[in-house]
Structure 1
């Protein structure tokens, strides 16, 4: 029986949290997006790091953005920065009305909202190309769409899938490539310019609910499919380098640590739990009980994993040494 870990920090909200996402960029690493029922809260999180002081967390709400429908996914734009003037907060959301929305604000007077239409079913994941050249989205309509957000927000390419698209990822070291994961267990790496699949792997497990591309190692890809955690080295993609049961009644969410390809956070059943796995160890390094899971994210530089847990934003500090 795993010992359940209490959160290191919590922040209370008035409504259920549906999605949460830390900025994955060094220059905006403390900015966090929290999606509630009909609004998105953008805040700044500061952790007390000095060893001789009691650990503290400061949360500053920067702005609330009205959202017409329930949020299914969020992603940060690399244009987001609070360190220079004018400040810029820029992110994308996917709503339950099948639309993708682009939000931008200087947090003072200029606030813009653009709506991208084209999907015909729920959008499960959105991601920005690391230089901000395009946005990608995957949907239950069995497509992955590429949006030209630098010019006219038009859909410039559609990749047709064989099942619902569950995850889409870009990598800062792999310009022009796109990772797409399907619910039927297939994972594809596409060349965005040629619109061709470079490689495909089959997890052999269904349903695949989430996948990620390790930010710290472009050769590592992981997925949660059925109750299995699977990890591939895509230079040798014929079979996973690690496959283990992790959530016996099915996994829902998965994210690599920003700091290391060895640490993977997952959320799943039974008894809704967060688990952090070090792939070199047999047992999880952290297990925590959840009530309602709304999103999963890691801090860019610090060993904190964060989950929206009903009306609480919960942070766990993960021992990585």
Structure 2
């Protein structure tokens, strides 16, 4: 059913009055990019819902032309519930997704672009088994090979590394380049060189043991990064994928198929992103691709400037 504008106007007016001046300006600015920095408990969901109400009241956009991306399933539920108070059943026509759910829908609606019809999501148990298989295949000289204690100790660090690589869109080549840069900096870092003559084993100008330890750590990181493609091959052979893979598949499809990307760009005239500070590099890339058609895109992002969230989620601060 169409939006009943009289009801929407009444509901919007009531909510609008509860916003402060800065929030009202953000809601009223419908054209071009807008960023709202808001701390916890400042009514971010209220601002987003009011923004959507304003779009429906003051433009020709339909609920289907609005895309709202948020970080958690709980955020989707909260936004949908708040919108229902504004526009009733039409709240279910507004596209409200987590990033993973959005990418999953893109894949399911365009299977011919992805050729993933026989793949299933990986389970936690399967993930454990695949990392064991990966480690079992390490050569005897592998820097991460262990013969005592927990021989699978590296499984969790590898899992964290691979997930970060996928979320941030970091290729093995990219990380190797960063390691090379870091090692060059180490060679010129005077903090790793003894400044004074010392009795015994080390003399002035000698490198401290910490230098060799840092080089060894970089060697292990290189070895870990080199296993990324091997792990992906294990998943491919077993016809499995994880949520981070979905986002990268959609990025690749959007970048390589302009018609596919244009379809979504034309569909979504207004894009809103909640909890923007938590977006990873690949999630941010999805947003960039969707808005890349317009010189001044109608994108509205709301975030919390609490730096602890960046650290906790591993999000990329540069996204802001």
Length-normalised TM-score, structure 1: 0.23
Instruction: Looking at secondary structure, tell me which structure has more helix per residue.
Output: 2
TM-score, with length taken from structure 2 = 0.23
Q: Considering Cα pairs closer than 8 Å and 6+ residues apart, tell me whether 1 or 2 has the greater RCO.
A: 2
| Larger strand percent | 1
From the CA coordinates, give the structure whose radius of gyration is larger: 2
